[in-house]
Amino acid sequence: MLTGNASIEAFIDALPKVELHVHLVGSASVPTVLELARRHPDGGVPVNEHELRAFYTFRDFAHFAEVYLAVADLVRTPEDVATLVLGTARDLAAQNVRYVELTVTPYSHQRLGMPMPAITEALDRAAREARELHGVRMAYIFDIPAEFGTEAARGTLDHALSHPPRALVGFGLGGAEQVRPRYRDAFRDAFRAARAAGLRSLPHAGEMTGPETIWEAIEEFGAERIGHGTSCLDDPRLVAHLRETQIPLEVCPTSNVCTGQVPSLEAHPLPRMLEEGLFVTLNSDDPPMFDTTLTGEYRAAADVFGLDRAALAGLARNAVTASSLDAAARAEIIAEIDAL
């Protein structure tokens, strides 16, 4: 237990954490991306650190998506997949993260010719080793890259139903929200089938579009959690619905600044979301790409938004509660949080 005089930084470091919104490719550290870029020099990703960090300076979300897909195209073998998972586990373990739901976009790997069984085998092996080597419990969310439309919806669903990793818990939808209306039926059908198979509905929504995308996620996709959801504040009826239902929102402040969704951390809607009584969790999204960590997000919440220990612990508890952990595992981590 920390004493009352311990710094807020030490409190955040010691706080047991759960990460619900982080992407496999986006979690790749700069050294890992450099290794892949040098292994696959035809990928168009810089092969020296200075140029790679400049490559990660995003003009807007469209540019971020372009860079993200370029990095994703470097992941060409099952061993590459496992390396990324274990690198994420190592980085999260250093931040006192107990459990992560890692978003994987298997269609990106399928497009490069990687067989579904091989991807699944790599994910299963990496989850075992993450627990054994780093003490991090790993779960997976398969998400559809919206830009690839109907084919991606079918490919992601096929993988989830026919070759699921043992730790697969959810089904998601990421990428540019603006293209979704074009493929709405395919996305809705895929979510219906995934939910029927027992997977949780965990789509992104309301990051780069308005509240209508969040309503779609709730009403059409049966969302149990919302990735981002920051535009909800533009619709009082939606705010009231989210407050009443307590659908968790996976908020990623630094990500929203880096992709141009908000102008600065100081302007981020997180404090107002908390004031409105919404169920908020704190997450890192694509941490090396945004020069952040989950610990960094908690520090920003303290430094920029002025959240005290009780509020920070509340965010940590929210992430545990919103997770797919069983009741006993949730209780164990919450007891550790309360012990601080």
Sign of CA pseudo-dihedral 173, 175, 180, 183:
negative
The 10s digit of each residue's pLDDT in 203-221 is 999 999 999 999 999 999 9
Q: Is the pLDDT of residue 6 over 70?
A: no
Q: Is the pLDDT of residue 170 over 90?
A: yes
The 10s digit of each residue's pLDDT in 236-257 is 999 999 999 999 999 999 999 9
Structure tokens at 340: 């601080």
Structure tokens at 225: 């959690």
CA angle 320, 68, 286 (to 5 degrees): 25
- pTM of the entire structure? 0.93
- pLDDT classification of 27: cutoffs 50, 70, 90: confident
User: What percent of the chain has a predicted confidence (pLDDT) above 90?
Assistant: 78
- One-letter identity of residue 89: A
Structure tokens at 329: 């595992």
* Residue 123: φ, ψ to 5°: -65, -40
Q: Is the pLDDT of residue 5 over 60?
A: no
- One-letter identity of residue 4: G
Helix (H, G, I), strand (E, B) or coil at 205: strand
Q: Given this model, what pLDDT does residue 1 score?
A: 54
The tokens 């009741």 sit on which residue? Answer: 327
The 10s digit of each residue's pLDDT in 252-311 is 999 999 888 999 999 999 999 999 999 999 999 999 888 899 999 999 999 999 999 999
Cα–Cα distance, 6 to 274 (Å, whole number): 25
- One-letter identity of residue 77: T
Residue 292 or residue 71, greater confidence: 292
Contact 43, 25 (CB under 8 A): no
Q: Name residues whose C-beta falls within 8 Å of residue 218's C-beta, 6 or more positions apart in sequence.
A: 226, 241, 247
Q: How high does pLDDT run on average in the chain?
A: 94
Domain residue limits, the chain: 8-339
CATH architecture label of 8-339: Alpha-Beta Barrel (3.20)
> Please, is 231 exposed, middle or buried when counting C-beta atoms within 10 Å of its C-beta (0-12, 13-18, 19+)?
buried
The 10s digit of each residue's pLDDT in 109-137 is 998 899 999 999 999 999 999 999 999 99
User: What percent of the chain has a predicted confidence (pLDDT) above 70?
Assistant: 98
Q: Which of 101, 207, 216, 224 is catalytic?
A: 207
Q: Name residues whose C-beta falls within 8 Å of residue 333's C-beta, 6 or more positions apart in sequence.
A: 16, 18, 98, 99, 320, 325
Q: Given this model, what pLDDT does residue 2 score?
A: 59
Q: Is 207 a catalytic residue?
A: yes
Cα–Cα distance, 69 to 191 (Å, whole number): 23
